Amino acid sequence: MKPSKLTYLSNMWTPGGDAAGECIRQAQTIEELGYVNLNWTDQTQTWQFRAGWRPDLIPYAAVMPDHDAWFDTLTLGAAVLARTERIMLSTIIDSYRRPASVLAQALNSLDQIGHGRFLVAIGTGEDKQFEPYGMSRLEPRNTRLEDFIQTTRALMLSDKPVTRDSQYNPLRDALVGLPTYHPDRTLPIIIVGGGPRVMKIIGRSADGWGTYLPGSMADELEPFEESIARMRASAVEHDRDPEALLLPVGAEVVMLCEDADQVQRCYDSVYTRMSVMNLTPTGADWKRWGGRHPIGDDWALSVTHRSTKFTLDEVQDYCAKVRPEDIDHMIYIGTPEEVAAKSIKWYGAMGVQELPQILHWDKATFVCPELAEIGPSGKPRWHDLHLRYLERLRELLALRT
């Protein structure tokens, strides 16, 4: 096995050779290391600010000079599924940019290619993927999202023409003849997002919930517990098994570090601070812990963010206003043991009993590139940290039972 020296969780383009092949090799490395899942996200403009993505500020920018250069997840996903055997591949997409018929055909194709190893998370998207390209996220978003999922699933499952009345996605003798890999079910379709209405939609129409922690909850456990309870109650109301719904295991945004120097570099990094400014539903959420969002209460990744929006001076000025305590509510930074002590509350709320070897949203290699090098174990140093993290989480879970 030749571990990739690039950071993982990536379907991003890098210059100088076979970039798509490198993404495939990264997925193969992750599979060989024993992980059971690999998550991608479907992006054009990303959650960073383009002006701040520079090698003198973010070490990884020397490897990947353009953080807005991403492969299409479904296209690259087909190649990865064809070149791997065990790992589950998942991606987060939106419910607008692909018609239901196009998505149904693509998902059944991926389901067949991967022999059931693909999962899709669908949300209402972010304006940065729409308005710059002459598109809109039409209202009512959540109603459209649920109808889109129902329409897509109907096409994925039917071997006969489908007629379906719908205000948003009507079908008239529509057919996607390609079947699913498992004849009686589609690949898992989960919903990303939050709020009471979304949780009710998940309970009646989806296979689970996707979110990111701690940021989506501003590091507060009670709203998370309430969301799970509302989702499960909706499932019961619609004669579905609430325990079968998938939960966001492994969805913490973390930076796992080896020592105090790496911890401090992560706290100080422009990358970390740019991420933190965009990891809350709105800037007003910062008030929940006594903070103040540098760009204002109305700032929101899903609405106002554009990667091209600010100059370098503006980005650095905003980053300077992010405090360590603001970071603590958005990204968990520390040694694996320190981070596990913070993360365990989410697993307790989910009722997790056992943890497989899952990948978390670890961003430390963007700031500390040495973590992508091979360690004393003969495997990437980030991997060694991940194993320590999982081991400590399992120990803490055992203490709860």
Extents of the domains making up the chain: 19-258+336-399
pLDDT at 9: 53
pLDDT at 4: 36
pLDDT at 84: 97
Task: Please check whether residue 336 is in contact with residue 392, taking contact to mean a CB–CB distance below 8 angstroms.
Answer: yes
Task: Please check whether residue 330 is in contact with residue 215, taking contact to mean a CB–CB distance below 8 angstroms.
Answer: yes
Q: Angle at Cα 76 formed by Cα 70 and Cα 78, nearest 5°?
A: 160
Query: Whole-model pTM?
Result: 0.95
Distance CA(194)–CA(216), nearest Å, equals: 8
Q: Which tokens hold the place of 201?
A: 């939609």
Q: Which tokens hold the place of 396?
A: 């803490």
Task: Please check whether residue 117 is in contact with residue 88, taking contact to mean a CB–CB distance below 8 angstroms.
Answer: yes
Residues listed for the chain: 401
Task: Please check whether residue 244 is in contact with residue 351, taking contact to mean a CB–CB distance below 8 angstroms.
Answer: no
Q: Would you list the DSSP string of 71-85?
A: --HHHHHHHHHHT-S
pLDDT at 182: 95
Question: Could you say which residues of the chain have pLDDT below 70?
Answer: 1-9
Q: State the Rg of the chain over Cα.
A: 21
The H or E element containing residue 36 is: none
Structure confidence by residue, pLDDT tens digits, 317-342:
999 999 999 999 999 999 999 999 99
Task: Please check whether residue 45 is in contact with residue 125, taking contact to mean a CB–CB distance below 8 angstroms.
Answer: no
pLDDT at 149: 98
Neighbours of 67 (CB within 10 A): 24
Distance CA(23)–CA(18), nearest Å, equals: 9
Please give the span between the terminal C-alpha atoms of the chain, in angstroms, as a whole number.
37
Distance CA(149)–CA(191), nearest Å, equals: 9
Distance CA(147)–CA(205), nearest Å, equals: 9
Q: Would you list the DSSP string of 200-249?
A: HHHHHH-SBEE--BTGGGTT-HHHHHHHHHHHHHHHHHTT--GGGSB--T
pLDDT at 176: 96
Q: Tell me the fold of 19-258+336-399.
A: TIM Barrel (3.20.20)
